[in-house]
Amino acid sequence: MLNLFTDKTFLTEKYRRDVFPLLFDLYFLNSEILADHYLLVDDVLKSDFIILPIDYAKFLKFKLALKKLQKLSKIHNKPIWIYTAGDYGFTNYIRNSYTFRLGGFKSKHTQNTFILPSFINDPYLDYLKSGFSTVKKGNAPTIGFVGHAQDGLKKYISESINHLKYKFKKAFGLIIADFQSFYPSSIKRKKYLSVLQKSRLLKTNFILRNNYRDGVKNDIERHQSTKEFYNNMFKNAYTFCSRGVGNFSVRFYETLAVGRIPILLDTDCRLPLEGLIDWSEHCVILVESSNVSFEQQILNFHNSKSEESFEAIQKANRMLWETHLRRDMFFLKIHDLFINKKMNHA
């Protein structure tokens, strides 16, 4: 059991959207699974960790509340857990702290940074009613993709303007986020997908959109668009995944949840639980700087698998999502990591 101390005055409906994901499950959802492993305590002396209740960028505005928790951490030598949300996230320099974030850049992360998976609902419950099954290997890799991928001058100007808006907001303190250089994600995505489409050794089933979620306007359109997205993923053994505005891919986790094999473009990404998961066993990680073409990197992975191992990977990916990447299961793994750390220092 890990005991957590926080400022409970922020665990209200007003801050619900910004709450540390673990606290959300414990406090708002009353997760029985997590309640067996984590306990919110009112006495900081009985705690193992102090946890900032909401997104760090939002909590910075409450200077007295933040200062109080930092002071308690220093006086009682209690490590602080920090959640930084959004596409960019924000690097903190608080001593004796651990950061939980979606993205950022692996080369800049410390060992005290934990990458959060994108927490999604089970696609088999809402969109794929047929239930999980595997795709046969086949001679050629079948690669799917449905999503925003567009190039051209108009799109470049649009993405440039969006980046300038981000820089303006950051410069004037309207958002608190790490700096990111300009990365026109939809243009880059179109470029890489076009390369794969030209290959005679790959089978590609791409549906390219000019807008995010095809510009849906209501719940019915959103459901239909998402269903088409997951059906494409379900029918193809592989799905191409690359970063968006932030340096992470939600599609990567959606692919694993469906039980398919992500093809992830490595843009200096750190993946969740790298010490526990051998990600090379679960996905194709494309290295742009390699002398080996994307086509050949995919073929090398595909051709190295037997029929049986190919289907076993799909089963393992579905299981990995269920046991490590769902929100409650992810924080069970975090619990175990810190319990082991605590025992090793006892």
172-226: pLDDT as tens digits: 888 888 999 999 999 999 999 999 999 999 999 999 988 776 667 788 888 898 9
- Give the domain CATH number at 223: 3.40.50
- Same domain, residue pair 318 and 176: yes
183 and 304 co-located in one domain = yes
Indicate whether 236 and 90 sit together in one domain. no
Q: Is the pLDDT of residue 301 over 60?
A: yes
Same domain for 78 and 155?
no
Q: What is the predicted pLDDT for the residue at 346? A: 55
**How much of the chain, in percent, has pLDDT values that exceed 70?**
97
3-state secondary structure of 4: strand
Residues 287 and 336 in one domain: no
User: In angstroms, what CA-CA distances link 252 with 241, 262, 283, 284, 317?
Assistant: 6, 6, 9, 11, 11
* Helix/strand/coil percent split, the chain, to 5: 45, 15, 40
Residues 112 and 187 in one domain: no
Do 54 and 147 share a structural domain?
A: no
pLDDT higher than 60, residue 105: yes
> Alpha carbon of 79 to those of 88, 138, 184: distances in Å?
24, 51, 38
Average pLDDT, stretch 117-135?
93
Same domain for 268 and 145 = yes
- Which domain, by its residues, includes 284? 123-325
pLDDT higher than threshold 60 for residue 20: yes
- The answer on 300 and 237 residing in a single domain is yes
Please tell me the total count of domains within the chain: 2
Query: Which pTM was predicted?
Result: 0.94
Looking at the fold, whether 63 and 168 belong to one and the same domain comes out as no
Residues 95 and 164 in one domain: no
- Residue 308 class from Cβ within 10 Å (0-12 exposed, 13-18 middle, 19+ buried)? exposed
Q: Both 101 and 129 in a single domain?
A: no
What average pLDDT does this structure show over 289-295?
Answer: 94
Would you say residue 134 has pLDDT above 60? yes
